[in-house]
Structure 1
Amino acid sequence: MTIALQATGLGVRYRRMWALRDCSLAIPSGRVAALVGPNGAGKTTLLHTIVGLLEPSAGSIEVAGEAAFMAQDKPLYDAFTVAEMLTFGRRLNPGWDDAYATGRLADLGIPLDRKVTKLSGGQQAQVALTVALAKRPDLLVLDEPLANLDPVARHDVMRSLMAEVADQPLTVLLSSHVVADLHDTCDWLIVLNGGRVQVSGDIDDLLAEHLVLSGPAELADGVTARTQVVEASRTGRQARLLVRGAPVLDPRWSARPVNLEELVMAYLRSPEAAALPKLAEVRG
């Protein structure tokens, strides 16, 4: 297994404030990684540092191969036609694949002679994505690629992106506020909270490592002593615990698998909790 992206002790400071601090993570090649976190967590700062738009104040970051970036505001020129956007991309990028770009847009039914301002939000996202993909990057970094799109456009953009991942060697890192957008598309999860990496790992492995427990509130302290409790709540005499690990339980407890949204929200509500693999575990 090779690593597409590795950050070690990464920090970015704006004057006296740290936007990122002591961030370490690694993403294996060929993965589609989701970066989630609340507003102000440092997601855009991390993405900008990955693609070289910001310099680290501390630590290091390494990208294997070339990276392409698509910003949240869809970096397109309103006065350009689609064809002019492709010409712009071709002149700026030596590795530009013009046949791929025109072919992809033709398959999507997007006219090359139409001005960017006349395109729908979904079409603009597809043009911006095409410009990024035509650079033939090894790592594609997307900052909120589905922002301001309607549900149909969100689905279409994600479906086309997954088709690209299936057809070519490509690692994708995308940020999103909507966990539902990541279901069935991403296979690696990074949770950024308060400028620190809180969770990083294979989504299937993370889900398998966590359980939701329900049982008598008076027994909760015993469970807490034996396993990592990410989040706990109580309603009357009942306790609900989201735990990492599989403790031996009193038969009065019930257990069920956790879903992705529950997992993400539990960690975001518990900034002190973490689920981070060692680099050796990522490398396999």
Structure 2
Amino acid sequence: MTAVLHTERLTKRYGHRPALTDVDLDIPPGRVVGLVGPNGAGKSTLLGLAGGLITPTSGTITVLGNRPAANAAHLARVGFVAQNTPVYPGLSVRDHLRLGARLNRSWDQRLAERRIAQVGLDPGQKAGRLSGGQHAQLALTIAVAKRPELLILDEPVAALDPLARNQFLRNLMEFIGELEVTVVLSSHLISDLEQVCDHLVLLSASRVQLAGEVDALLAEHHRLRAARGDLDDLPAEVEVITAEHRAGESTVVVRRAGTAPIPGGAHRIESVGLEELILAYLTRAADASVAYQPTTRPMEAQR
């Protein structure tokens, strides 16, 4: 099975600052991928590389078996909605559909018109007078009316109110079912990812911290609770992701290697949810970053 998105040691730097470092990924076709991480983790950089908007410093990336934005035909196979859901303020909704039809050979006018009517957009309305939610719906419609094989969404609902965000996600799921498209969705909102995503890529400190099928990842991770000190000597095949110690009790999130069983003992074994799993890895990455931060001596001590 050919990966829709494949990277090997993909690295992007802006000056001396790393945005992505040695990223290895394989995204199979037909997945809805949640791309998550803190600000500055490299999410937009990864999506920009996938869309051919920027070029890597080193390493390789292929999209649909070719380099990103290899030619016009390749561009037509990828739909991209940027974070600010850009549209042309002076053009009407109808003008946007006409422009989409002119620029894309695979344009599906019936799909575009049906979706515009479904979300209640006035074809004669200037885009500059649309609300944020309407902007997002117009941008999504243009992207999917290309009938792409890969749909890239960079924080498309970040500025939307809960009702507009919910409608956007419902429409997205309808598109996914209708077009059988692979989707990469970047979002800070884990509740949104839980609704739509079956694959996860977690970035922090410019590196991939976790990647894989959501169900498999959840099955590999557990929460252990025990009296303080009782979890200090877990076997090597059980990896501790994070540990929290309170008065008399310790709570750890662990990952078991392969099919290794969680050892028995005087502790409780509990399942973890997607939000807890993501926060555990982000906490570990943040703690590691602080631990390895070089210290700077005061100027007086350097003299």
- Structure 2-normalised TM-score? 0.86
**Partner secondary structure for residue 80 of structure 2:** strand
1:184 maps to: 195
| CA distance in structure 1 between the aligned counterparts of 2:161 and 2:19, rounded to whole angstroms | 31
Q: Spell out the pairing of 1:22-33 with structure 2 (5 A cutoff).
A: 22-33=22-33
Question: Is 2:112 the counterpart of 1:97?
Answer: no
2:44 maps to: 44
> Alignment identity in percent?
43
Match of 2:232 among 214, 221, 224: 221
CA contact (8 A) 1:81 1:114 kept: yes
Cα deviation for residue 227 of structure 1 reads: 1.1
Aligned residues: 272
Match of 2:269 among 244, 255, 258: 255
| CA distance in structure 2 between the aligned counterparts of 1:226 and 1:6, rounded to whole angstroms | 29
Q: Spell out the pairing of 1:58-137 with structure 2 (5 A cutoff).
A: 58-64=58-64, 66-137=77-148
C-alpha deviations, 1:112-162, integer Å up to 9, x for none? Answer: 101113322222111000011111111000000111111111111101101
State which drifts further: 205-214 or 12-21.
Answer: 12-21
Residues 95 and 253 of structure 1, relative CA distance in 2, 3 Å threshold? same
Cα RMSD (Å): 1.5
CA contact (8 A) 1:18 1:195 kept: yes
1:171 maps to: 182
| CA distance in structure 2 between the aligned counterparts of 1:248 and 1:30, rounded to whole angstroms | 36
Please say which structure displays the higher CA radius of gyration: 2
CA contact (8 A) 2:4 2:26 kept: yes
**Partner secondary structure for residue 114 of structure 1:** coil
C-alpha deviations, 1:208-251, integer Å up to 9, x for none? Answer: 1100110011112112645100000100221000000242121x
State which drifts further: 82-91 or 171-180.
Answer: 82-91
CA contact (8 A) 2:86 2:135 kept: no
Q: 2:219 is aligned with what amino acid?
A: A
Question: Is 2:279 the counterpart of 1:265?
Answer: yes
1:16 maps to: 16
| CA distance in structure 1 between the aligned counterparts of 2:97 and 2:13, rounded to whole angstroms | 36
| CA distance in structure 1 between the aligned counterparts of 2:213 and 2:111, rounded to whole angstroms | 31
Q: 1:109 is aligned with what amino acid?
A: G
Q: 1:233 is aligned with what amino acid?
A: E
**Partner secondary structure for residue 223 of structure 1:** coil
1:55 maps to: 55
Residues 272 and 223 of structure 1, relative CA distance in 2, 3 Å threshold? farther
Point out where structure 2 has 5 or more consecutive residues left out of the alignment. 65-73, 288-303
CA contact (8 A) 2:100 2:107 kept: yes
CA contact (8 A) 1:38 1:177 kept: yes
2:154 maps to: 143
- Select the structure with the greater relative contact order (CA < 8 A; seq sep ≥ 6): 1
**Partner secondary structure for residue 218 of structure 1:** coil
Cα deviation for residue 85 of structure 1 reads: 1.3
CA contact (8 A) 2:82 2:153 kept: yes
Q: 1:165 is aligned with what amino acid?
A: I
Cα deviation for residue 14 of structure 1 reads: 1.3
**Partner secondary structure for residue 231 of structure 2:** helix
| CA distance in structure 2 between the aligned counterparts of 1:4 and 1:181, rounded to whole angstroms | 23
- Structure 1-normalised TM-score? 0.92
Cα deviation for residue 272 of structure 1 reads: 8.3
| CA distance in structure 1 between the aligned counterparts of 2:156 and 2:39, rounded to whole angstroms | 16
Point out where structure 1 has 5 or more consecutive residues left out of the alignment. 274-284
CA contact (8 A) 1:82 1:111 kept: yes
